Amino acid sequence: MKQIFLKIPTIKTPMQLDSLTMQTYILGAIAGVVFLVIAILIAKAIKFEGGSNPKDPGKRRLWFWVLLFASFIAFFLYNMYFVTPTISPNLQSKFMTPNIIASSIALGVYFVVGQLLAFIFSTGKLGNWKLFSR
């Protein structure tokens, strides 16, 4: 069967693993931004509800938190099932810590930038994401 996707080269040396680690950290930050864009699109898609007890702020907040955890889990699993098999078996155990750190970077970027956006756009739909509100 012909491979359709780009083939990732096998990591065989510690120097290649160091390079892969740095790339993984950068991709973790990018993954956090991608999940944040998805959360913004979902928040913008949820319509404002009128009345004295609207449910739309809770929906936006729920989606923010669901995607927060999804960013960590998705990036961790991506590394486990697509990146780790390209590393030689004697170096795979050394990639577990960078995998957790990179997944945490995705989570951190998503949360910090999301909270900054919530405070910047506090009167709009993204303002519903605020962790601490008055």
Residue 21 pLDDT exceeds 70: yes
Is-contact 67 38, C-beta < 8 A? yes
In a domain? residue 34:
yes
In a domain? residue 93:
yes
Q: Which residues of 53-92 are buried (b: 16+ CB within 10 A; e: fewer)?
A: eeeebebbbebbeebbebbbebbbebbeeebbeebeeebe
Q: How many domains does the chain have?
A: 1
In a domain? residue 11:
no
Tokens for 62?
A: 């729920």
In a domain? residue 83:
yes
In a domain? residue 10:
no
For the chain, the average pLDDT equals 90
In a domain? residue 96:
yes
Widest CA span in the chain: 62
Q: What is the pLDDT of residue 1?
A: 46
In a domain? residue 134:
no
Residue 27 pLDDT exceeds 80: yes
Residue 101 pLDDT exceeds 80: yes
**For residue 67, what are the domain limits?**
17-45+57-129
Q: What is the pLDDT of residue 75?
A: 97
In a domain? residue 12:
no
CA 94 remoteness from chain centre: 22
